[in-house]
Amino acid sequence: MTARVGSATLALIVLGLPFASFLLLVLVRPLRRSAAAAATVSIAAIAGSLATAVLVVRGAVARAGGQSPSTTWPWIPADGGPMATVGVMVDDLSMTMMLLVTLVSFLVQVYSWSYLHDEPRTSLGRYYAYHSLFAFSMLGLVLSPGFLQMFVFWELVGLCSYLLIGYWYDRPSAARAAVKAFWITKLGDLGFVAGIAMLWVATGTFDFWTLFQQGSRGTLPVEALPPIMFLIYLGAVGKSAQFPLHVWLPDAMEGPTPVSALIHAATMVTAGVFLVTRAFPLFRLTPDVLTLIAWVGAFTALLAASMACVEIDIKRVLAYSTVSQLGYMMAAAGAAAPEAGFMHLVTHGVFKALLFLGAGIVIHVFHTNDVFRMGGLRRHPWIWLPFVVGTLALAGVWPLPGFFTKEAILAGVFDARLGVPFAMLSVAAFMTAFYMSRVVFLTFFARPHHAGHAHPHVPVLMGGVTWLLAALTLALGIQQAFFSGHHDIGGPAWLAAFSLALAGGGILLAWAMYQGATLDPARVARMFGPLEWMARRRYGLDAVFVGLYRGVLLALARLVGWVDRYLVDGVLNVLSAWTLRAGDRVRRLQTGQPQDYVYGVALGALLLFVLAQWRLR
Amino acid sequence: MPLGAYLTLAALVFAIGLFGVLTRRNAVGILLGIELMLNAVNINLVAFGRFHADLGGAIFTMFTIAITVAEVAVGLAIVIVIFRVRRTVDADHLDLLRG
């Protein structure tokens, strides 16, 4: 990859358009309340962003050696130069992400218009406002030239995720899922913010370019880099749903399906991978942290894939698949092959958006998420063909992009001599092919459960978007297969055949179990008895979190509550009771009898008189 | 007669007045006690004025008498109003300010 830089001004326009749309929708009430106008504003803004992003990429020029790709302005003034800067960093990484984010955002917003057609007209403006804010935040994140600005946008995308998961806030499950997603990602963010604070204390800068330069020259003035990088990695663990903080992502599917496609598959959840890729020149200096990233990533990939195999909710299958693929990307970064992970991020963003939007169409047709209650769409290739393209891409079938990026990741992990992670990723690849084919067979080709859907109606807009994404997936694959100059991804010679065999094996097994009826699914499940039982219960991880919440957090809250109620309040209550009683006693002095007061005056005067005489003596 | 005799008389009258104020239950009786105490003061003023050959004492006494008249007028008016409202002028029952 030759290093290139793009125009900062154009990048700022890309960033500014969605923000302007968000402000318009939030501030102008009539606009927000009218669905069509709000959607038009938001879609027009993101379309403008997309066009400008294309201009940025086309106008990018080769970067001279040593030239910084960042354009920054001082932000927090302080003695001896600004404490932090803001700006845009337009290099290959951020330009690719910019294209992906604007493209998927645009398609998803168009799709949403059709998908949410039955929603109350007045709440659609809110939906589009959130979408615009999300596009702005995500673009700001990928364009960040420093850790601090990245953290600000990082939290903003977290907020958008919360708002959009809880879009149907009157459903208790959606509200709970939104809070869960917010809290669990915040757990990781604690590490992130502590990490960048420690890095700043040590180096005095948040700027990526400065840090990278110092890192590559070996002049980074940091003594304890591994703990810092570990803390920063924690942020990525939360956002990119790595074990053990992956529990929020499947629940995040309570949001509208297009939201799942955009935020919880294609863009936001990849922010963690993006962070590790972006800061890789620093992670490179800490091999131990990298090894940890690779192990956690591979384990996440395997764990999530096994849970996807037993899930019956189509969106949750896709969610677990996302967790699993994020594990792949992280494993690649951990194996010092961040380019492979990043390529997987980009292609995965396209075909996972395709799969989610395809799932949205299926849900639209069947009005259920349960794959066992679908089927009978064999005669409607208009519906199933794009989904199948996405499935094959995810399973890793030549010549679709998943094949190349997954092979590159496996090669990277193999070359890094990470034997066990390589094995885990291979098994996960097999499972990926299996569970995706299972969904395809059950959803489209199984016998229909009821005859009501002889002519399923799919809005042109929704179908069109999936076809477009399918074509894009195919184009990406063909570009990788025939037009990308070099295939030197490392790894052993048998790797391509091996990964194809894994994909083929998974698909065949799914066919045998769910379509060919040569294997009874129940018997296979019994073969994997305890494992299957545990996967169905999500390995008890949610229970662990619930237990931690109840056992630690609530216990602490009770303790604090007890101290407040009985110690703090107790002291105050006793004091006030004493005051009341004393007041009641003193009150009796006021008899209301004027003569008693005169007694007092007379006795007082007498006392004064005696005192005066006595003093004079 | 020496000054002490006048002062003793004044002190006696004052004590009698104070006793009346403290012990009478009738509001009018209390007012009478106050009158006695004021007149004891007048005796003091006049006696001192006479013995110091200063007219100031007598002049002050004139003022006091005038003010006393006004005070009695107001006091009696209040007592009458209280009687109209409460149908009593007994000091034991006039305890609206009790805490």
Q: What is the mean pLDDT of chain A?
A: 84
* 3-state secondary structure string across A531-549: HHHHHHCHHHHHHHHHHHH
- B89 contacts on A by Cβ (under 8 Å): none
Q: Yes or no: say if B99 and A587 are a contact pair by the CB < 8 Å rule.
A: yes
Residue ranges of chain A whose CB lies within 8 Å of a chain B CB: 587-595, 598-599, 602
Instruction: Tell me which of A149-153, A204-208, A229-233, B48-52 is least confident.
Output: A204-208
Phi-psi category of residue B53: left, alpha or beta, with phi > 0 → left and psi -120 to 50 → alpha: left
Residue A590: which of B21, B92, B98 has the nearest Cβ? B98
A49-78: pLDDT as tens digits: 999 888 888 887 777 666 778 888 888 777
> What is d(CA A596, CA A607) in angstroms, rounded to the nearest whole number?
16
Q: State how far the Cα of A545 lies from the Cα of A537, in Å rounded to an integer.
A: 13
- The fraction of chain A above a pLDDT of 90, given in percent, is 14
For the residues B33-38, what does the mean pLDDT come to? 92
> Is residue A452 predicted with pLDDT exceeding 60?
no
Q: Cα distance from A604 to chain B (closest Cα, Å)?
A: 14
The three-class DSSP label of residue A87 is strand
CB of A304 closer than 8 Å to CB of A328: no
Judged by average pLDDT, the poorest of A355-369, A382-396, A534-548 is A534-548
**A93 within 8 A of A441, measured Cβ to Cβ:** no
pLDDT at residue number A2: 55
In angstroms, the separation between the Cα of residue A570 and the nearest Cα of chain B is 29
Give me the helices (H) in A63-169, please.
92-115, 121-143, 147-165
Query: Would you say how long chain A is, in residues?
Result: 617
What pLDDT score was predicted for residue A489?
65
State which residue of chain B sits closest to A586, comparing Cα positions: B99
CA A577 to the chain's CA centroid: 54
Q: Shortest Cα distance from B84 to chain A (angstroms)?
A: 20
As a whole number of angstroms, the distance between CA B35 and CA B75 comes to 11
Cβ contact B97–A588 (<8 Å): no
Q: Is the pLDDT of residue A291 over 50?
A: yes
Residue A311, pLDDT score? 83
Q: What is the enclosing helix (H) or strand (E) of A44?
A: helix A35-58
Distance (Å, whole) CA A232 – CA A144: 16
- Which residues of B are less than 8 Å from A602 in CB distance? 18, 22
Q: State ipTM.
A: 0.80
**Angle separating helix axes A419-440 and A287-310, nearest 10 degrees:** 30
Q: How far apart are CA A543 and CA A547, in angstroms?
A: 6
Per the omega criterion (within 30 degrees of 0), is the bond before A250 cis?
no
User: What local confidence, expressed as pLDDT, does residue A1 receive?
Assistant: 43
Q: Which long-range contacts (CB under 8 A, 24 or more apart) does A469-473 make?
A: A469/A107, A469/A350, A469/A351, A469/A353, A469/A354, A469/A357, A469/A386, A469/A390, A470/A354, A470/A385, A470/A386, A470/A389, A470/A390, A472/A350, A473/A347, A473/A350, A473/A351, A473/A354, A473/A389, A473/A390, A473/A393, A473/A400, A473/A401
| DSSP letters spanning A419-444 | HHHHHHHHHHHHHHHHHHHHHHIIII
Q: Is the pLDDT of residue B65 over 90?
A: yes
Mutate to test the interface with A, among B25, B37, B89, B97 (most CBs of A within 10 A): B97
